[in-house]
Structure 1
Amino acid sequence: SVVAAALTVISHPKSLKLPVNFDARTAWSQCSTIGRILDQGHCGSCWAFGAVESLSDRFCIHFDVNISLSVNDLLACCGFLCGSGCNGGYPLSAWRYLSNHGVVTEECDPYFDQTGCSHPGCEPAYRTPKCVKKCVSGNQLWKKSKHYSVSAYKVKSNPHDIMAEVYKNGPVEVAFTVYEDFAHYKSGVYKHVTGYVPARA
């Protein structure tokens, strides 16, 4: 079996003063990827979208580079290390992959599902796309289009540390258990009331 090294868990000092209100869209208004809403369609690729979109945002915040990175590259090429592709994956493994292998730009390898999805349900899920390692445009080279995460780490899962991480470094990827009743969530803070954990979220 494959045993992955534990990721560093970081926390932020309680003395860090956080604003009462903070909106990443206005704080980093030059970053076109922050706040955009994408459609994963008929594929359980939320784990890949969360990682790649956060990394795209952080490239803009820290390096002043407005770039849209490829969810498709991570989804198709990470393989079993990240989970089961369109049938779900592991955010922490995705970040390890982004740090070790990087991802190309969205322009080089666009997301495979252009159809989208509507409620309720998108069953059955599409098959995970094949890893091609070739840009759709003949003018780009795959290896030259790669962008890497500087590191992969976890943030302590308490409100102060998560808010401080967003405030200091930009959007984060989060995951939570999705029960059947989540399909009926309307507004406010979600609280599980009834139902089981479905096979896929």
Structure 2
Amino acid sequence: MVHFASLIILNIFLILLLKKVDALQYPSVRQTGVNQCPNPNNNACAFVDCENSGTCIEDPTTIDCFKCQCTPGYTGRICETQIPILPIKCNLVCENGGTCIGNGAGYLCKCAAGWSGTYCQIKEISSVCSSNPCKHGGTCVPIGISYSCFCGTASIYTGKNCDSTTPMTTDECPLNCAPGHCIFSGNAQKPYACLWNGVMRPTDGTTG
């Protein structure tokens, strides 16, 4: 009697094993209706490994008696197929040569060298003076996202980039430099000076 019972258990095990092999070998088999599982109490998940961290759930409404609940990004009968990440259309306006890039997770601006920020709108301080904008020996000093050129105390050059010898107008310079002309001194506290015949004069405009 015990031997006969063992044979029955062995036959049931073989049937379940063959069903697992058959289900995995023929992926075209799908849910076709209600109560399609031939053996609803066969503990089907004991014989199934859902891939990519999927979770097996016994389901008597499927021909295989189970279904795999897949993690995000995967699909398929046993979660064997990765869902491709499709590019999305960028809707950012990237400035200063930046390029909008994106994927299924979002989009951003890839900035050109020397620029940063969400829209590449911020000029990096370290690169403000990298192009050496100050001419004729002027010194470039970063100021926020811009710069200032100190042309030197004895320089005859003036202007934003030390590239001009044109005297400043009265509106630009508060000093009375006649008969000389006003220049940038290179001194942050006293930024203007008078130059006359190549000689720097005191910043009050006198010659004494």
Q: TM-score range by the shorter chain?
A: under 0.3
Q: TM-score, normalised by structure 1?
A: 0.20
The higher relative CO (CA closer than 8 Å, separation ≥ 6) is in 1
Question: Greater Rg, structure 1 or structure 2?
Answer: 2
Q: TM-score, normalised by structure 2?
A: 0.20
Structure (1/2) with the larger strand percentage? 2
